[in-house]
Amino acid sequence: MEIKENIKLAPYTTFKIGGEAKFFCVVKDQFDALNAYEFARENHQDVFILGGGSNVLISDAGFNGLVAKVENKGIEVLHEDESLVTLKIASGEVWDEVVSFAVKNNWWGIENLSHIPGSTGAIAVQNVGAYGQEASNILKSVTVFDKETHQILELDNNQCGFTYRKSVFNSTQKGKYIIFYITLKLSKIVNPILSYRDIKAKFDGKNPSINEIRQAVIEIRDKKYPFPTEARLGNAGSFFKNPILDNNALESLKVQIASAFGKKQAEALVVKVFKDGDKVKVPAAFLMEICGLKDVAEGGTKINHNQPLVIVNETGKATAKDVLSLAKKVIASVYEKTGIKFSVEPELIGFSKIDLDGIM
C-alpha cells in the first residue's frame, strides 16, 4: 500500500470541492487498513475514511491528516432459497451498479434506492432512504475493521443503531470502524413498495415490474436531483435533512406558517408531511420554497431549482466556503420565518468551529 502526500481531494467527491489531503492511501483489505492506521499512529495523524465521496463536503484547506479511500470490490451470494437471497457486498462497489445487479436478478428490496450516487458502504453509514425504503429495512449486518483492536467484526442490524439518516457509524462510534462489507436480505417474492407519493401516482392501479419501478425512480430522481457526473452539476445530494416533529411541534409550525405566509400555506403543510412512527417528517424543501429560497446563489453555488434541498456547484469552481455561506443563509432564513432549525446531511470535513458557526 502506497502512502501519497498532498493529494487534491476535490476529484474524489461528487461536489468536486475540497483542498488537499496531507497524506492519502487506498485501502482494499484488512492488511491495508492495518498499515494505514499504523502509519497514522506512528506519524500522529488523524484518519478520515473516504468512500464514494457522495455525502461529504471537504474544506478548502483540505484534511490535515491521512485520507484512506476504501476501494474493495465484490458481490457474493451467501444464501439463496425459494423466497430469499442474502448478498455480501464490498463497500467499495458503486451502489447503483449493485441495485442494477439485484434488479436484473429480480431480487426485491433496493429498487427504490436506485440512482443514488456513491459507494455501497455509505448506505449503512447514512441509513440511506428514498421513496418509501430505508437501508435498515433490508440490511442484515455490516462487516467492519475496528481501528482500535485491529479486528474484523460483524455488527448485526440492531448493533448499527439505525434511525433517520443516522447510525453508530456517523454518531456514537464515528471514526471507530472502516466498513468493508454490508450484507443485505432481498426477497425473491414480488414485493413492490409503492407507498411514496410520487411512486404511487406513477403506478396508480397498476402492478409494475421491478425494472419498471427502478426506471420510474431514476426518472423521478433525474427531474429533482442533478446526478453528479463529470457532465453535470457537482453536489452532495440533499444538503438539508427533513425535520422530524411531534404533534405539538407540528401544530406550532402550522400556526407560525399561517402567521407568516397565510392560511393556505399552513393547509398545504398538512398535506405534505409524512408519517414517521408517532411523529411526522416535514419536507424541508417545502419550507425552503415558502421562505423564497429557490434559486438563491452564493459565490459559485446555487440552490437547485427542481429540488431545493440540493446545493449545486453551479460554476464548477465553487469553494467549500461558498457552500457553507449559502447553507448558513438557508438555515438562518428558515429559522427566522418558521422557527425550524435545519440540520445538514453531508459530513463536513476539515472545518474549524468558527467555520461551522451557524451550521452545527
Is 165 a residue of the active site? yes
In this predicted structure, the answer to whether residue 230 has a pLDDT above a threshold of 90 is no
Output the pLDDT for position 77: 97
174-206 per-position pLDDT tens digit: 989 999 999 999 999 999 999 888 899 999 888
**CA 242 – CA 211 distance, rounded (Å):** 28
CATH architecture of 234-349: Alpha-Beta Complex (3.90)
Output the pLDDT for position 25: 98
- 144 by Cβ neighbours in 10 Å (0-12 / 13-18 / 19+) ranks as buried
62-109 per-position pLDDT tens digit: 999 999 999 999 999 999 999 999 999 999 999 999 999 999 999 999
**Residue 231 — very low, low, confident or very high, per pLDDT cuts 50/70/90?**
low
**CA 248 – CA 244 distance, rounded (Å):** 12
Is 238 a residue of the active site? yes
Is the four-CA dihedral 218, 163, 56, 303 of positive or negative sign? positive
Mean pLDDT in residue range 137-156: 96
One-letter amino acid for residue 86 of the chain: T
Output the pLDDT for position 224: 84
**CA 202 – CA 213 distance, rounded (Å):** 9
Assign 320 to helix, strand or coil.
helix
Output the pLDDT for position 197: 84
- Catalytic residue (choose from 165, 167, 221, 314): 165
Which three cell numbers mark 128? 440511506
Residue spans of the domains in the chain: they are 4-70, 75-224, 234-349
- Catalytic residue (choose from 141, 238, 298, 314): 238
List of residues 6+ apart from 353 with CB closer than 8 A: none
C-alpha R_g of the chain: 21
SS (H, E, C) 156-170: EHHHHCCECCECHHH
In this predicted structure, the answer to whether residue 293 has a pLDDT above a threshold of 60 is yes
The CATH class for the domain spanning 4-70 reads: alpha beta
323-333 per-position pLDDT tens digit: 999 999 999 99
**CA 6 – CA 27 distance, rounded (Å):** 17
Output the pLDDT for position 227: 76
Query: Among residues of the chain, what percentage have pLDDT more than 90?
Result: 90
Q: Which of 134, 76, 69, 137 is nearest to 101 (CA)?
A: 76
- Indicate the pairing of strand 20-27 with strand 63-70: parallel
CATH code for the part of the protein at 75-224 = 3.30.465.10
